[in-house]
Amino acid sequence: MGNSDWKDYFDQKAAKHGASVKSSDYFDDASFFMQRDNTLRWLGELEEKTILDAGCGVGAFSEPLTKHNTVYGVDFSAKSLEFAAARGLRTKMDDLTALSFAAATFDVVLCIGVIQLIEDHMSVLKELARVTKPGGTMLIQTLHKGSIQRKLLGLFERSKKFDKMYGMDELQTAFCQCGFEKFEFLKMYHPFTFVTTGSGEKGIGNLFCTSFAIKGRKKID
Ligand SMILES: C[S@@+](CC[C@H](N)C(=O)[O-])C[C@H]1O[C@@H](n2cnc3c(N)ncnc32)[C@H](O)[C@@H]1O
């Protein structure tokens, strides 16, 4: 699907499911909270930071961060942003390929479950990198290309809605190209609820990793 189709798709989801994480296409609350809580724990305690939730949907992922930080939520689905605003995010309708924020605005940039929808992911990564402060953190979570479960599902799936997936090394290279260093990974293994951390694509366990997050620090010149 192209950009305008995705915008309509998420507007319709939010009109139907409201503030629920179903509006952001999570399977159910349990899988959402498993991903969110593990990811935020791994990101670490944050206080008085300026944070961007890029492709925030209804804002449920970054809502806990609003308590001690200023969180901006950007999305192209106006309907989703209504719910994100009610959760305490400062919302802005924007396209992630051309953000209207000045360079080096944010201490932390999160982009959760979005780049699997994006045809040209480098255009988004470059924008997210541009608005990250030197020394700041960028964290991207997405689907893992090497997953055996996803390959098996792909054999039976009729709709290839989310068929863009990523290798860990591929995203690490993209982070490097955008001026980041000090990479770490968080790996998830649906339908299991445990997570592991470490470096990239090595090890047989990665064959069962269904989605992962990568975080890196923007170099200080
Ligand atoms: C699967 S949802 C994830 C929402 C949220 N990050 C979460 O994890 O709860 C993907 C979101 O990305 C937004 N999105 C996709 N492409 C976008 C783009 N080019 N610009 C702005 N938002 C975009 C969609 O509107 C949707 O709200």
CA 203 / ligand 1 centre spacing (Å):
31
Integer Cα distance of 24 and 73 in angstroms: 14
User: Which pTM does this prediction carry?
Assistant: 0.94
**CA-closest candidate to residue 180, choices 210, 133, 218:** 218
Sorted by where each begins, the domain ranges of the chain are: 3-218
Write the single-letter amino acid at 90.
Answer: R
Give the model confidence (pLDDT) of 59-117 as tens digits. 999 999 999 999 999 999 999 999 999 999 999 999 999 999 999 999 999 999 999 99
Which residues fall within 8 angstroms of residue 164, CB to CB, at 6 or more apart?
A: 115, 116, 117, 118, 119, 121, 143
pLDDT, mean of residues 188-216:
87
Residues with CB under 6 A from ligand 1: 3, 6, 10, 24-25, 55-57, 60-61, 75-77, 80, 95-97, 112-114, 117-118
Q: Was domain 3-218 assigned CATH 3.30.428.10? A: no
